[in-house]
Amino acid sequence: MLLNGDTACQTALAHDRIHKVARTLADLAASPNIRPQDILEAIQYRRSFQIMPAETSGRPLRRVGRKS
């Protein structure tokens, strides 16, 4: 299901990732179908991962402030 007008679904890759997470959420809820709330929750997870700091993305951290 493509959510028209939502910036979280601008690309096919983003859509696929959201769909996979929504399917997992539906499975955890023992639902045979993906429900609207599963999609909304998956979009929320995607948005929260986009603003995570560098240490979770595999890049080394830069020190800010004093040099040691």
State pLDDT tens for residues 14-63.
889 999 999 999 999 999 999 999 999 999 988 766 655 555 555 555 55
pLDDT of 40: 93
Does 67 have pLDDT greater than 80?
no
32 within domain boundaries: yes
Domain hosting residue 29, numbered range = 7-51
pLDDT of 11: 82
13 within domain boundaries: yes
pLDDT of 33: 96
42 within domain boundaries: yes
Q: Are 33 and 26 in contact (CB under 8 A)?
A: yes
Q: What contacts 26, CB < 8 A, 6 or more positions away?
A: 32, 33, 34, 35, 38
- Largest pairwise CA distance in the chain: 55
65 within domain boundaries: no
pLDDT of 6: 53
Q: What contacts 47, CB < 8 A, 6 or more positions away?
A: 8
Report the number of distinct structural domains present in the chain: 1
